[in-house]
A and B are shown apart, each in its own frame.
Chain A
């Protein structure tokens, strides 16, 4: 017990002293810099407010990003240029082909399901009493980590030999309907889709909540007027509701694409990327930290970045549009 305390109390001490030092330094800087007046006051304030963030982003994201691009043209130890070798490896390696197909499947299927299901539920929630209870329960998985969600679904996807008791919910349901369950994580290509379900399970609430807010923002007089004109059901949805929330729907889709591209925890926890379920982000980690090939790892990271790039450009364009209004 005393050994336990002596190793763990210093951890808290270090965290709290780090926080304390951080705020003391900040307070001192504020007090000293606050005395400056006249022409220098504004530039000094600007530097103090902005420089910490800019330096950290420069050292932590921008420069490393550029170095990763350079590393992608280098050997495993990043000390010799080898041209396009790592990219050529990607084109030729059959594993990478599977990985690319899976990654593309993820970014096609997952965002669409997340957004469509989110929209459906958002529309229906608007229609029922006591909506806050189902809303919170549907939203809850968003707070759970992908590792936690994967373990939850490990129990759902648990499989025993036929004849044994099925303790996995999926196997039991399949058996209930008179079918034969199989070892889910080994059955391709179904296993990839079962992994996607975990992602959709955690992220659907995001789409639902923001689409629900958007639907409540649709002006009621517009709805009222079109209802008087005889628009109901599907027609009302297609002609009035959906066009009004389309912008939000696109945001949900884009967020889904970025998230699905970077999915790593689920695949790593559930299958370790085996049984043809591997994806780009997991392979990047394996190449770098298991195979110790920084060249291939970096090249995979660059591909990941290139796949996100269109969304990045789209986001910037819509922000620019929004700002000029």
Chain B
């Protein structure tokens, strides 16, 4: 059945199978080689990184974990904090709440927009949809000022300084705010598609919105929520702009991505640290990607093929 179906899809008629196979595998090879290069380089001896190309090293393997040990834990001459480990921990501490908060809040809002009818709900939905394209850059400066100095009209304070700049809360909050428009839009697509009969039967039985949300919507929307949560997780883990703006760059709060970006700038720090550090940073997203690929693709399709 699957084979028969495949024969009927248009691609079958456009290219011959041989050409397609050769081209696809060639592009795949080209696409994968850069990452492979980084992986091999990160296991190379310090002295050989600059003296020998990585594809030559592959021919006579002589690999070491020294770079990983060095970059993770520091080089031993200084305290442990010299390594990227504290930043790696910061990344986890930033990413978990910055994924859970916006997804939870967005799921609630998406439910309200989909199942509680009220005047202006369409307008609200369109406005939220529009907000997702607004560049982050439009919000950075005022938001940072709000965190450090509060809000004033003239000299009258209307909002106190939150005092969370340079704190983890000061990174969770902007990530939560910026994630909401897209998350609400995508979750709305999932939640609005739940079976109407089921929902109406529950309302008729006297269930209120809170019960319906917890007992029906959440369990049924789990696949959708999971796929969008994966995206948010990757977005926060991979983010640089929010981290540079709202985390101070110190090992108290800065995530590994911003540490790595600063390592690139320091010329002396050398390629050993950089290659191993980069691989540590991309390892988590790659693990998430390969283990949850199905959800990942589903999230992607929810946003685009509509």
Contacts and interface: CB of A to CB of B under 8 A. Distances in A.
Do A and B share a complex? yes
B111 A49 contact: yes
B130 to A, nearest CB: 6
Main secondary structure of the interface of A (DSSP, over half): helix
B142 A71 contact: yes
Main secondary structure of the interface of B (DSSP, over half): helix
A67 B142 contact: yes
Contact of A45 (B31, B79, B80, B210): B210
Given A148-B281, A319-B126, A308 B134 contact: yes
A75 to B, nearest CB: 13
Interface in A202-233: 204, 206, 209-210, 213-218, 220-221, 223-224, 227, 231-233
A145 B104 contact: no
Contacts of A30: 210, 214
A122 B301 CA distance: 14
Given A151-B278, A265-B241, A136 B118 contact: no
A218 B9 contact: yes
Contact-size category for A? 35 or more
A124 B20 contact: yes
Interface string B278-306: 10011001101110010011001100111
B165 interface: no
Interface residues of B, number: 129
B261 interface: yes
Contacts of A311: 133
B221 interface: no
B81 interface: yes
B97 A145 contact: no
A167 interface: yes
Contacts of A136: 290, 293
Interface string B9-39: 1111111110111011101100111110110
Nearest to B39: A152
Contacts of B289: 140, 142-143
Interface in B162-178: 168-169, 172-174, 176-178
B282 A165 contact: no
A294 interface: yes
B216 interface: no
Interface of A: 1, 3-4, 7-8, 11-12, 14-15, 18-19, 22-23, 26, 30, 33-34, 37, 41-42, 45-46, 48-50, 52-54, 56-57, 59-65, 67-68, 71, 78, 117, 121-129, 131, 133-134, 136-148, 150-156, 165-167, 169, 172, 201, 204, 206, 209-210, 213-218, 220-221, 223-224, 227, 231-234, 236-237, 240-241, 248, 251-252, 255, 258, 261-262, 264-265, 268-269, 272, 281, 284-285, 288-289, 294, 297-298, 300-302, 304-305, 308, 311-312, 315-316, 319-320, 322-323
8 contacts: A4-B86, A42-B209, A52-B105, A61-B180, A136-B293, A144-B35, A220-B8, A312-B134
